[in-house]
């Protein structure tokens, strides 16, 4: 382990953490697919983070978030997302592990069927999470509905605070500097594994939603002065200020860890070409990517996040942006429960092809 990785760990391990997952998560080469694509393709299995079969990258963030909540003496956790949110389900899971009360405010991209509750909504119900489904009002945008969820959640938390509870508010996707710091640590973990395997990745790909995973990884890259190109493939529509917001979150994370900020919007490589037709809406490119990885390596992606992110990676190879023989890492963030969600989410994956 290099001195820079040791220094990175020293910064992150100084922060309170709840031990929820199992680390390091595996990193290994996809031998068959590498031969098929003409690159050396490695996969970082953060879908194995734990602590249940339905883990994913949010557990890594929740170790830091829940550690912060416990240090503050909180007993109730509020968070937000879509009805099939991986983050919301995993927040409820983490709460149950730690004896905290989860309260979820979820907006409807896809209308759930009360007679056929599926996937993360089913898991949330089994976990006993208090769940409030918030539907869009006429003429209201998705962003406005999300904002209404937060407004309702915070009003609810205020009532509980007045009754003597201590509440902790977790933003959509765990997108805070506290959550992002987990992926600063995770980037150090990845690079330590690469050293062991004698791998020097030229590209690291991941899906980009709220962006805290990518911002945290960029903070790790900055601390290590690493040269790999971090590529975020968006899974939903992003405005022109997205890179600026990521840079601000990254620098806030670095400052919270006690390091000097120094990341700019120009450091981020964001590809907006694979999210359509929209969030929680399947695309043919993602479906094809899911089938390819399944049939070449027996591994599952999901249609909301990792399928679109992997489609982006494949597109970069096909377009010649990634040269033959390059060493590439795909960060698998989990979310395969979406394969068992509503038909509107899974698209044509149930059809024989």
Q: Which of 34, 49, 52, 85 is catalytic?
A: 85
Please state the three-class secondary structure of the chain as a single string. CCHHHHHHHHHHHCCCCCCCCCCCCCEEECHHHHHHHCCEEEEEEHHHCCCCCCCEHHHHHHHHHHHHHHHCCCCEEEEEEECCCHHHHHHHHHHHHHCCEEEEEEECCCCCCCCCCCHHHHHHHHHCCEEEEECCCCCCCHHHHHHHHHHHHHHHHHHHHHCCCCEEECCHHHCCHHHHHHHHHHHHHHHHHHHHHCCCCCEEEEEECCCHHHHHHHHHHHHHCCCCEEEEEECCCCCCCHHHHHHHHHHHHHHHCCCCCCCCHHHCEEECCCCCCECCECCHHHHHHHHHHHHHHCCCCCCCCHHHHHHHHHHHHHCCCCCCCCEEEEEECECHHHHHCCHHHHCCCCCCC
Is 85 part of the annotated catalytic residue set?
yes
The residues that are catalytic are: 85
């Amino acid at each position: 382990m290099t001195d820079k990785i040791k220094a990175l760990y020293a910064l992150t391990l100084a922060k309170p953490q709840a031990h929820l997952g199992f680390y390091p998560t595996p990193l290994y080469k996809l031998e068959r697919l590498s031969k098929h694509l003409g690159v050396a393709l490695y996969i970082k299995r953060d879908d194995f983070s734990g602590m249940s079969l339905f883990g994913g990258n949010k557990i890594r963030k929740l170790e830091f978030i829940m550690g912060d909540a416990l240090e503050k003496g909180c007993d109730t956790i509020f968070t937000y997302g879509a009805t099939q949110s991986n983050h919301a389900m995993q927040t409820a899971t983490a709460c149950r592990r730690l004896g905290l009360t989860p309260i979820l405010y979820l907006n409807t991209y896809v209308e759930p069927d009360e007679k056929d509750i599926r996937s993360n909504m089913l898991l949330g119900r089994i976990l006993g999470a208090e769940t409030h489904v918030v539907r869009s009002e006429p003429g209201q945008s998705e962003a406005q509905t999300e904002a209404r969820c937060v407004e309702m959640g915070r009003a609810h938390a205020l009532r509980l605070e007045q009754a003597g509870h201590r509440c902790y508010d977790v933003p959509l996707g765990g997108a805070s500097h506290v959550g992002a710091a987990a992926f600063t640590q995770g980037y150090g973990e990845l690079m330590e594994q690469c050293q062991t395997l004698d791998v020097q990745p030229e590209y690291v790909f991941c899906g980009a939603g709220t962006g805290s995973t990518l911002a945290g990884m960029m903070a790790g890259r900055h601390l290590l002065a690493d040269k790999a190109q971090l590529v975020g493939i968006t899974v939903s529509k992003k405005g022109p200020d997205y890179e600026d917001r990521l840079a601000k979150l990254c620098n806030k994370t670095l400052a919270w860890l006690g390091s000097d900020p120094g990341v700019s919007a120009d450091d981020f490589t964001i590809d907006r070409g694979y999210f359509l037709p929209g969030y929680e809406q399947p695309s043919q490119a993602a479906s094809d990517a899911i089938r390819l990885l399944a049939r070449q390596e027996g591994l599952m992606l999901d249609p909301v996040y990792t399928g679109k992110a992997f489609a982006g990676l494949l597109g970069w190879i096909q377009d010649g942006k990634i040269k033959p023989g390059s060493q590439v890492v795909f960060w698998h963030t989990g979310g395969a429960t979406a394969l068992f969600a509503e038909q509107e989410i899974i698209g044509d994956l149930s059809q024989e092809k």
